[in-house]
């Protein structure tokens, strides 16, 4: 059922709104006492109401016309006022032009009384620009929730909508600014006409030229013809005086100076006193004020300056040689264009580098004005001012003395008409028949270089014909002005008067708008379509908004040009108040030191005086302050509701990912890299909640991306129909707004059909992307930077300016989708209304609309997702353009911890990792720099020259690829993590398509490099979206993958399919724009191959969990080390290399170093243990050598001394995270020449053991239960297993491992019994030593063969022990 809109009070603009609302299908009702207006309303199709109360009854929105403050009480609060019939939730739109203060007071009264929560104002007028001429423009303001609710109505009642969120009253404020400009422009136009006529220029000629030049304004173009024809009456002055008086009163209340408006107001007041009769033509009033007979001048027969120019050019003389003095910004372009037009040009400038540049570009140069003037037909003078013109013509080495007879001078500098007239007379007095053409130019540097200037030339016919071909070559528009020399400068002077005033008035207006609290960029947009606009307003205000004062035209130029105006008006006795005040403003800017920057910097005069900032950039926000200022999140977590709703919805979410980084918030989701109908059918049959299709379309041209999306959507349509499964398409794009929008949505819609709405949702928490108040922000440390002001917005292929998402949509669609028509889901709606409010909002959207989603937390995203699913269950269809966070919220992903190598079981892999960086965003470059800073000593870096692979020959490209692949293969095989990165200089093309082509060449080179690497990496990390996609699909040939999880927040980890070149190798997809500067280094650190796979403590902990023991094998040389490690790798067993003090005395540090190196290179856990340390000195030294653990052997000391000694070493070792083993009791026997006699041996006492463990804090206890070092007696071992059982009960309680020395010679049964009773480490020495010695006693072959046989003999013993201890297969 169509909603009803009520009107209380009608005027012409109300009828315009009503017509548009009816066209959009709304029902209308109105109360109005004026019968003709009501009759017009009824003709449109509305219905009449008897009172304001009746007009508000049952209305979804109510438009109230308030034309005077006195109406407020009766219309709104009266006995039959609108509040009596207003239903709750009705949107109240105040259609008013009263001052903002009254509107704000009314808002306060209504909201505080609880009468309405949705109140806003709307100011309507007709567009006046070419684009919006005659169209209905609505300016509305109010709180964000009111704006969001009212937007459908506002959009329907307007053809161009401007919304100002925040304080109500924006429409009235903009009206003030517009009236300020119109008033100043009106008086400036009158001054310009009067000065021009007094200078002898025909007013219609003046109008025709300036209305197409930089001095034009809407007022000048539309008002001057009425003025000259006498149809403009003086009666309009009173309305202007009243309106400008209101503006001045407002400015006074704000303590804001408006000097230009103040003097304009006074001029209008003066005019009113001269035009007491309202029927007096306004032109007559101006004649009285300025003392100029403009009416007579306008009645004189006119002519066509352009036709005169055509005639002059047709009769012009050939020019052989041109001199050119003044090669500044304008002059250089003009002179070069003459050179390119085949004139012989000799130039001069005081700045020597410019002369060199001119000569190298094909011109001739002279060393003085005199030198360039010899033998020329025409001399062009393009210097800054009259003083410079005088100097180059008549100063030392001046031009006039050297000019040949009958030569012509073209003076293109902006000088006064009087100077030109005097110069012509002086040239005539030279007696050489020298001619002068007065030819000031307009158009700027770019047009000067292309020969497209506007030139206003005057002089004698002979002079003009002599210079005609030169003037024609330099101009797009050439005007020949009658009146002799000085007439051209007269028109330029009048143009500069208007241009200068318009720049200054633009500054005054924008600064005043900023003081009123208006969004200055939006204010600029409104004014450009209104009567206050001017050529200079539209050209210069963007400089003010961007705070960019690079000098296109320096401020001091208007000090000069308006100075000329001031002198001329004084000499001609024409009072020009506006232009004189404008001159003072420019002088103030020059005095402040801004003379050499852009003339738009005159706005700084206002900014400095008042403290306002006109700059239209959105402010950078403090992140924490901003987030904390938002309403509290929706209290209930919607995740369970999402799961429940998804079970009902039965729609598969199909995510078309324009690069692989879109998987950065999900886990246990599949990714397809090809999309044949067969593959899609297979995927749909699995009935997944979601799957991704990797399109990588961001790397393609717009045309190719569109074709690709159409192809995929066609296949999706076919596949889904064959298995009867419904789905929703998400076009996952970059969270910084880069990508093919709207091309991809358009392509999808062309296949899938129109959706109820497009959803735009770039929020991405992990990447620091927030959307607040429809503005998209990128977090940078503790700041929120508007996206349009970041480096992402400057992307060569996908750049943009707008940070406001609604405006971004309009920008990217080139105006096809207007910002005013884009709906919005606010954070207030999400956090106060919850999923049901979201559903209602989505269901009320017009079909085919676009809706942006605000979000500042994962909860916001989940609330939206729940509401969207509800809307889908009601039959609504959506096409989503989102970042990654939406996908995980939509399918109800529950986050899991980041994935580490140990989670995938690859922490034992030894080959190097491959890190490939292709992304060029500045964040990536910073991350690579940080990676190299932190881990450069561990990495091997290879830089691929972008110049060689993208810009040079095929041979150089191939050479670079081969060299890089070979080096990487070698480094990876040597267990070195390897970084391959494109050189960091950014190479771009002249166009977006050229830049994409260069990106493709770089990416394809990286693909070819990875394809040719022969070593299987431990893992692969690809940095950058395009890079990661191309490597996965082209280099690694993956057709599908599973998203395992995230390597770091926002950094997805894939498991490539079995068809890929490296199945099972983890693939880390690292987006170019995610993480802080240390993020890449953090991932590489956490995924680095451990220096050792395990420590003694970890090995024994695993043994305890697994119920087995690990052998600790004494080693003495390299052969022994290699034997133990080789056996461990073959048997997949952990092992401990231990060094006895006796062995250390012989082999020293090299033996330890060999053990460490072997442990680092091993593919199974190997630890290094210092055994039987009896000397405090050697134990302390051992703590610094790289051992994982030490054994403190003080068993020969009394019990208390043993405790003290062991505790001392234990404290030192634990500070280095080393395991400490100690012995209680004493073994008999001999080990490495150390013998303990039988009478010295003693068993471990359980009670002493408890005290010993408590006091020393040891980690492992070597027990004496009848075991011995060396060989057991002929009678065999006599182990006290009951004692061992008691000791195990104690050690288990204390978390201490049991160790048994003297394992050589123990039977299988005894070993098994010891393990069952808690022994986790067996020391093995004698049997391994014997195998070694036996191999040496029967040497075979050379030394190398002896070493090999000895190693094999020891390895066999070690392997046997590993099986015996149960550790085989446990690594």
Q: pLDDT tens for residues 1155-1184? A: 999 998 888 999 999 999 999 898 999 999
Q: Residue range 488-517: average pLDDT? A: 96
In whole angstroms, give the CA distance from residue 360 to residue 554: 28
In whole angstroms, give the CA distance from residue 1289 to residue 1317: 9
In whole angstroms, give the CA distance from residue 968 to residue 963: 9
In whole angstroms, give the CA distance from residue 1336 to residue 1350: 7
Q: Could you tell me if 218 and 538 are in contact, meaning their C-beta atoms sit under 8 angstroms apart?
A: no
Q: Kindly tell me if the per-residue pLDDT of 881 is higher than 90.
A: yes
What does each C-alpha distance from 486 to 235, 414, 456, 573 come to in angstroms? Answer: 37, 11, 10, 18
The DSSP 8-state label assigned to residue 407 in this structure reads -
DSSP string, 353-399: HHHHHHHHTT-EE-SSHHHHHTT-SEEEE--SSHHHHHHHHHSTT-S
Instruction: Identify the pLDDT of residue 1236.
Output: 42
Our answer to whether residue 990 is catalytic in this structure is no
Q: What are phi and psi of 211, to 5 degrees?
A: -65, -10
Instruction: Identify the pLDDT of residue 276.
Output: 57
Single pTM value for the model:
0.66
Q: Could you tell me if 1206 and 1191 are in contact, meaning their C-beta atoms sit under 8 angstroms apart?
A: no
Q: Which residues contact 923 (CB under 8 A, 6 or more apart)?
A: 791, 1072, 1073, 1075, 1077
Strand, coil or helix: what is 1180?
helix
pLDDT, tens digit (0-9, with 9 covering 90-100), for 1095-1130: 999 999 999 999 999 999 999 999 999 999 999 999
Q: Could you tell me if 106 and 72 are in contact, meaning their C-beta atoms sit under 8 angstroms apart?
A: yes
DSSP string, 1044-1101: EEEEETTEEEEEE-TTSSSTT-EEEEE-TT-S-TTHHHHHHHHTSPPSSS--HHHHHH
Q: Kindly tell me if the per-residue pLDDT of 237 is higher than 80.
A: yes
Instruction: Identify the pLDDT of residue 444.
Output: 83
Q: Could you tell me if 502 and 602 are in contact, meaning their C-beta atoms sit under 8 angstroms apart?
A: no
Q: Could you tell me if 203 and 134 are in contact, meaning their C-beta atoms sit under 8 angstroms apart?
A: no
In whole angstroms, give the CA distance from residue 383 to residue 334: 12
Exposed e or buried b for every residue in 730-758, given b needs 16+ CB within 10 A? bbbbbbbbbbbbbbbbbbbbebbeebbbb
Question: Residue 115 — very low, low, confident or very high, per pLDDT cuts 50/70/90?
Answer: low
- 573 burial (CB, 10 Å; 0-12 / 13-18 / 19+) is exposed
Question: Residue 114 — very low, low, confident or very high, per pLDDT cuts 50/70/90?
Answer: low
Instruction: Identify the pLDDT of residue 1230.
Output: 45
Question: Residue 1 — very low, low, confident or very high, per pLDDT cuts 50/70/90?
Answer: low
In whole angstroms, give the CA distance from residue 524 to residue 1195: 90
Q: What are phi and psi of 772, to 5 degrees?
A: -135, 125
Exposed e or buried b for every residue in 1175-1195, given b needs 16+ CB within 10 A? eeeebeebbebbbbbbbbbbb
Instruction: Identify the pLDDT of residue 1093.
Output: 75
Average pLDDT of the chain to the nearest whole number: 91
In whole angstroms, give the CA distance from residue 1167 to residue 1297: 16
Which has the closest alpha carbon to 71: 27, 9, 158?
Answer: 9
Q: Residue range 1132-1146: average pLDDT? A: 94
Q: Kindly tell me if the per-residue pLDDT of 1234 is higher than 60.
A: no
Instruction: Identify the pLDDT of residue 875.
Output: 94
Instruction: Identify the pLDDT of residue 1270.
Output: 61
DSSP string, 524-578: HHHHHTSTT-BHHHHHHHHHHHHT----SSBHHHHHHHHHHHHHHHHHTT---HH
Vertex 860: Cα angle to 854 and 863 (nearest 5):
115
Q: Kindly tell me if the per-residue pLDDT of 702 is higher than 90.
A: yes
pLDDT, tens digit (0-9, with 9 covering 90-100), for 46-88: 999 999 999 999 999 999 888 777 777 778 888 888 888 788 7
Question: Residue 255 — very low, low, confident or very high, per pLDDT cuts 50/70/90?
Answer: very high
pLDDT, tens digit (0-9, with 9 covering 90-100), for 561-595: 999 999 999 999 999 999 999 999 999 999 999 99
**Which pair of tokens denotes residue 677?**
């109908």
What are the contacts of 966-972 at 24+ separation with CB within 8 A?
A: 967/940, 967/942, 968/914, 968/942, 968/1009, 968/1013, 968/1015, 969/1012, 969/1013, 969/1014, 969/1015, 970/1015, 971/912, 971/940, 971/942, 972/911, 972/912, 972/913, 972/914, 972/1013, 972/1015, 972/1016, 972/1017
Q: Residue range 117-135: average pLDDT? A: 85
**Does a cis peptide bond (omega within 30 degrees of 0) precede residue 448?**
no
Bigger pLDDT: 119 or 388? Answer: 388
Q: Kindly tell me if the per-residue pLDDT of 553 is higher than 60.
A: yes
User: What angle in degrees, to the nearest 10, is found between the helix axes of 170-198 and 100-112?
Assistant: 170
In whole angstroms, give the CA distance from residue 1158 to residue 1324: 19
Catalytic residue among 435, 492, 560, 1207: 492
- 149 burial (CB, 10 Å; 0-12 / 13-18 / 19+) is buried
Report helix, strand and coil shares of the chain as percent, to nearest 5.
50, 15, 30
Question: Residue 1233 — very low, low, confident or very high, per pLDDT cuts 50/70/90?
Answer: very low
Q: What are phi and psi of 1233, to 5 degrees?
A: 70, 5
pLDDT, tens digit (0-9, with 9 covering 90-100), for 327-363: 998 999 999 999 999 999 999 999 999 999 999 999 9
- For the chain, the straight-line distance linking the first and the last C-alpha, in angstroms and rounded, comes to 72
Determine which of 169-173, 379-383, 1271-1275 has the lowest per-residue pLDDT on average.
Answer: 1271-1275
% residues pLDDT > 90 (the chain): 73
Question: Residue 984 — very low, low, confident or very high, per pLDDT cuts 50/70/90?
Answer: low
Q: Residue range 12-41: average pLDDT? A: 94
Strand, coil or helix: what is 778?
strand
Instruction: Identify the pLDDT of residue 163.
Output: 86
In whole angstroms, give the CA distance from residue 203 to residue 195: 10
Q: Kindly tell me if the per-residue pLDDT of 1240 is higher than 50.
A: no
In whole angstroms, give the CA distance from residue 32 to residue 37: 7
Question: Residue 1239 — very low, low, confident or very high, per pLDDT cuts 50/70/90?
Answer: very low
Q: Could you tell me if 189 and 498 are in contact, meaning their C-beta atoms sit under 8 angstroms apart?
A: yes
Q: Could you tell me if 483 and 490 are in contact, meaning their C-beta atoms sit under 8 angstroms apart?
A: yes
Query: How many other C-beta atoms can be found within 10 angstroms of the C-beta atom of residue 217?
Result: 31
CA–chain centroid gap for 1020, Å, is 27
Instruction: Identify the pLDDT of residue 940.
Output: 94
Instruction: Identify the pLDDT of residue 477.
Output: 93
């Amino acid at each position: 059922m169509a909603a009803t809109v009520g009107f209380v009070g009608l005027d012409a603009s109300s009828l315009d709104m009503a017509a548009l609302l009816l066209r959009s299908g709304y029902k209308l009702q109105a109360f109005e006492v004026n019968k003709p207006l009501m009759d017009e309303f009824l003709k449109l199709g509305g219905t009449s109401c008897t009172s304001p109360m009746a007009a508000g009854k049952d209305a979804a929105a109510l438009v109230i016309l308030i034309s005077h403050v006195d109406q407020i009480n009766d219309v709104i609060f009266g006995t039959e006022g609108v509040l009596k019939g207003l239903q709750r939730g009705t949107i109240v739109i105040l259609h008013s032009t009263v001052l903002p203060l009254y509107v704000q007071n009314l808002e306060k009264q209504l909201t505080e009384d609880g009468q309405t929560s949705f109140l806003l104002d709307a100011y309507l007028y007709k567009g006046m620009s070419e684009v919006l001429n005659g169209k209905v423009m609505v300016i509305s303001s109010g709180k964000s929730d009111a704006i969001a609710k009212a937007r459908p109505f506002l959009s329907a009642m307007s053809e161009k909508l401007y919304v100002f969120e925040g304080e109500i009253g924006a429409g009235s404020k903009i009206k003030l600014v517009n009236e300020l400009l119109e008033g100043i422009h009106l008086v400036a136009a009158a001054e310009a006409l009067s000065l021009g006529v007094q200078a002898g220029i025909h007013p219609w000629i003046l109008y025709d030229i300036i209305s197409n030049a930089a001095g034009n304004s809407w007022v000048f173009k539309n008002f001057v013809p009425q003025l000259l024809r006498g149809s403009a009456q003086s009666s309009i002055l009173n309305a202007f005086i009243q309106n400008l008086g209101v503006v001045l009163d407002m400015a006074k209340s704000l303590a804001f100076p408006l000097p230009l408006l103040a003097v304009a107001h006074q001029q209008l007041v003066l005019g009113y006193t001269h035009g007491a009769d309202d029927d007096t033509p306004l032109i007559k009033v101006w004649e009285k004020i300025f003392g100029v007979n403009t009416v007579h001048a306008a009645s004189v027969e006119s002519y066509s300056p352009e036709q005169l120019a055509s005639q002059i050019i047709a009769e012009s003389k050939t020019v052989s040689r041109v001199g050119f003095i003044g090669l500044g910004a304008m002059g250089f372009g003009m002179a070069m264009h003459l050179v390119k037009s085949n004139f012989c040009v000799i130039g001069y400038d005081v700045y020597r580098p410019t002369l060199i540049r001119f000569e190298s570009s094909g011109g001739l140069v002279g060393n003085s004005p005199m030198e360039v003037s010899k033998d020329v037909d025409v001399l062009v003078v393009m210097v800054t001012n009259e003083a410079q013109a005088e100097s180059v013509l008549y100063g030392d080495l001046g031009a006039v003395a050297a000019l040949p007879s009958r030569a012509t001078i073209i003076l293109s500098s902006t000088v006064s008409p009087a100077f030109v007239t005097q110069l012509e007379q002086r040239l005539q007095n030279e007696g050489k028949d020298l001619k002068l053409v007065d030819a000031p130019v307009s158009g700027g540097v770019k047009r000067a270089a292309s020969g497209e200037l506007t030139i206003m030339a005057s002089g004698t016919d002979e002079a003009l014909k002599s210079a005609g071909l030169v003037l024609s070559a330099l101009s797009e528009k050439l005007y020949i002005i009658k009146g002799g020399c000085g007439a051209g400068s007269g028109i330029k002077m009048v143009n500069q008067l208007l241009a200068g005033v318009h720049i200054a008035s633009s500054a005054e207006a924008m600064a005043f708008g900023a003081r009123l609290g208006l969004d200055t960029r939006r204010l600029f947009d409104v004014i450009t379509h209104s009567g206050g606009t001017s050529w200079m307003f539209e050209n210069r205000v963007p400089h003010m908004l961007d705070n960019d004062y690079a000098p296109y035209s320096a401020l001091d130029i208007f000090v000069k040009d308006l100075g000329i105006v001031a002198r001329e008006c004084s000499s001609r006795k024409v009072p020009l108040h506006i232009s004189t005040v404008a001159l003072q403003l420019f002088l103030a800017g020059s005095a402040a030191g801004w003379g050499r920057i852009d003339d738009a910097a005159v706005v700084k005069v206002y900014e400095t005086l008042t403290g306002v900032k006109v700059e239209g950039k959105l402010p950078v926000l403090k992140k924490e302050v901003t987030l904390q200022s938002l309403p509290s999140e929706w209290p209930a977590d919607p995740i369970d509701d999402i799961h429940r709703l998804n079970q009902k919805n039965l729609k598969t979410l199909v995510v078309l990912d324009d690069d692989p980084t879109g998987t950065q918030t999900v886990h246990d989701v599949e990714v397809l890299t090809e999309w044949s109908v067969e593959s899609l059918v297979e995927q749909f049959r699995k009935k997944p909640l979601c799957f991704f299709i990797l399109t990588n379309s961001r790397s393609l041209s717009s045309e190719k991306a569109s074709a690709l999306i159409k192809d995929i959507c066609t296949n999706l349509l076919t596949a889904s129909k064959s298995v009867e499964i419904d789905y929703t398409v998400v076009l996952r794009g970059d969270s910084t707004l880069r990508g093919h929008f709207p091309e991809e949505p358009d392509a999808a819609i062309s296949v899938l059909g129109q959706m109820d709405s497009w959803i735009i949702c770039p929020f991405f928490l992990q990447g620091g992307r927030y959307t607040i108040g429809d503005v998209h922000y990128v977090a940078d440390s503790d700041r929120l930077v508007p996206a349009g002001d970041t480096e992402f917005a400057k992307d060569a292929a996908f750049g943009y300016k707008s940070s406001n998402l609604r405006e971004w949509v309009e920008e990217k669609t080139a105006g096809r989708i207007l910002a005013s028509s884009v709906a919005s889901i606010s954070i207030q709606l999400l956090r106060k209304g919850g999923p049901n409010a979201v559903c209602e909002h989505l269901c009320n959207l017009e079909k085919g609309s676009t809706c942006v989603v605000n979000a500042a937390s994962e909860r916001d995203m989940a609330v939206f997702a729940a509401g969207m699913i509800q809307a889908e269950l009601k039959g609504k269809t959506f096409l989503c353009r989102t970042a990654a966070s939406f996908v995980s919220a939509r399918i109800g992903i529950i986050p899991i911890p980041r994935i580490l190598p140990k989670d995938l079981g690859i922490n034992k892999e030894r080959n190097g990792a491959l890190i490939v960086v292709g992304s060029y965003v500045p964040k990536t470059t910073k991350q690579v720099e940080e990676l190299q800073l932190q881990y450069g000593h561990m990495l091997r870096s290879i830089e691929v020259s972008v110049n060689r692979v993208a810009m040079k020959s095929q041979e150089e490209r191939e050479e670079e690829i081969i060299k890089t692949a070979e080096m990487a293969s070698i480094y990876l095989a040597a267990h070195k993590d390897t970084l391959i990165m494109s050189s960091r200089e950014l190479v771009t093309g002249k166009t977006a398509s050229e830049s994409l082509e260069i990106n493709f060449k770089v990416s394809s080179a990286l693909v070819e490099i990875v394809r040719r690497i022969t070593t299987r990496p431990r893992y692969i990390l690809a940095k950058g979206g395009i890079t990661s996609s191309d490597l996965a699909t082209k280099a690694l040939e993956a057709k599908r993958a599973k998203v395992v999880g995230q390597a770091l927040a926002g950094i997805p980890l894939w498991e490539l399919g079995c068809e890929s070149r490296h199945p099972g190798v983890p693939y880390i997809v690292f987006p170019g724009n995610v993480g802080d500067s240390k993020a890449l280094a953090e991932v590489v650190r956490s995924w680095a191959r451990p220096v050792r796979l395990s420590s003694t403590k970890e090995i024994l902990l695993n043994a305890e969990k697994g119920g087995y023991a690990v052998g600790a094998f004494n080693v003495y040389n390299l052969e022994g080390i290699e034997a133990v490690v080789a056996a461990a790798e073959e048997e997949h067993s952990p092992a401990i290399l231990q060094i006895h003090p006796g062995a250390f005395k012989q082999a020293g540090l090299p033996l330890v170093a060999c053990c460490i190196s072997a442990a680092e290179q091993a593919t199974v856990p190997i630890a290094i243990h210092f055994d039987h340390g009896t000397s405090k000195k050697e134990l302390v030294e051992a703590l610094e050598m790289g051992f994982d653990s030490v054994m403190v052997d003080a068993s020969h000391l009394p019990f208390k001394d043993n405790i003290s000694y062991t505790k001392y070493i234990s404290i030192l070792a634990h500070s280095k995270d080393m395991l400490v083993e100690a012995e209680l009791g004493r073994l008999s026997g001999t080990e490495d020449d150390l013998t303990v006699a039988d009478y010295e041996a003693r068993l471990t006492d359980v009670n002493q053991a408890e005290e010993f463990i408590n006091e020393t804090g040891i980690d492992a206890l070597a027990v004496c239960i009848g075991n011995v070092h060396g060989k057991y007696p002929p009678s065999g071992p006599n182990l006290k297993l009951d004692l061992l059982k008691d000791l195990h009960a104690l050690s288990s309680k204390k978390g201490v491992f049991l160790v048994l020395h003297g394992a050589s010679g123990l039977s299988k049964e005894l070993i098994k019994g010891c393990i069952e009773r808690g022994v986790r480490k067996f020391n093995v020495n004698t049997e391994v030593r014997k195998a070694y010695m036996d191999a040496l006693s029967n040497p075979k072959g050379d030394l190398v063969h002896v070493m090999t046989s000895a190693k094999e003999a020891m390895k066999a013993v070690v392997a046997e022990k590993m099986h015996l201890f149960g550790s085989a297969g446990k690594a």
